[in-house]
Structure 1
Amino acid sequence: MQRIINEPDYVVEDMLKGFVKCHNHLVVETDNSRVLKYIKSPIAGKVGVVTGGGSGHKPAFIGYIGKNMVDAVAVGEIFSSPTAKAFYDSFKAADSGKGVACLYGNYAGDNMNVKMAVDLAKDDGI
């Protein structure tokens, strides 16, 4: 039997590294291993657009990164919301000084973590 998962504890990290490797003309990693961003973000004069969600639905969320699409994506564990820190770091990655719009699902974890991230971003003037 052929294994497609190297190590179960690192399946999300491996998936993200593979996505970046395949789409390095569009996507780059950030300091947060659970945040990917458009290679040209932040774009001067543009409101940043961010989304995010749990892993396991790929290429959902990270597949929206690109020109005239989203600027950054926060990625969670398998079927789990990204952390508030991941959403906050995605806001920072997309912010050009014009603010950030966040698109996310109506799930309890997403709602809670995005609201915490928004509070952190407001404190930083984003």
Structure 2
Amino acid sequence: MRKLINNPADVVDELIDGFVYTNRDRVKRIGRNTVVARIDAPIKDKVGIVIGGGAGHEPLFLEFIGKGMADAEAHGQIFAAPSASYCLEAIKAANGGRGVILLYNNYAGDVMNFNMAQDMARDEGVK
């Protein structure tokens, strides 16, 4: 056996729930979407770092959240980019007032959705 899946439609939510549960001393889930952030995010006067991309490459993205690493992560469905709204939620979660750097894969969906989220964040006053 290589993996345990209860229901394929729930795999990403269950993956994130399990990761947050086992790492609850260092990360938190933002709402019921697929955004995970440092437990202490946002950090005042720090440039936030947001990462993200599609599920299916774990532990990529989730394991890079923490002290000295990323502040928040937007997780997509299996091999699909996170939505622009989830990317925006990750930006907001990481925004400590000094701007936010976005790091993501060079796939069309990731580029499009993170760019849209960047535009929306700028409209809301995030650098």
Partner of 1:55: 55
Deviation at 1:2, TM superposition (A): 9.5
Aligned residues: 126
Per the alignment, do residues 4 and 97 of structure 1 end up closer, same or farther by CA in structure 2, a change over 3 Å counting? Answer: same
The whole-number CA distance in structure 2 between the counterparts of 1:77 and 1:5 is 14
- What is the aligned partner in structure 1 of residue 98 from structure 2? 98
Classify the secondary structure of the residue corresponding to 2:77.
strand
TM (norm. structure 2) is 0.95
TM-score (norm 1): 0.96
Matched to 1:62, the amino acid is L
How far did residue 78 of structure 1 move? 0.3
Q: Which runs of 5+ in 1 are unaligned?
A: none
CA contact (8 A) 1:32 1:89 kept: no
SS of aligned partner of 1:110: helix
Query: Percent of pairs identical after alignment?
Result: 46
| Uncovered stretches (5+) of structure 2, i.e. residues with no partner | none
Give the match for residue 109 of structure 1.
109
For residues 114 and 61 of structure 1, what CA distance do their matches in structure 2 show? 15
Judged with a 3 Å threshold, the aligned counterparts in structure 2 of structure 1 residues 48 and 3 are, in CA distance, closer, same or farther, namely closer
- The equivalent of 1:75 in structure 2 is 75
Runs of 4 or more consecutive aligned structure 1 residues displaced over 6 Å after TM superposition? none
Output the amino acid matched with 1:15.
Answer: L
Report the equivalent of 1:8: 8
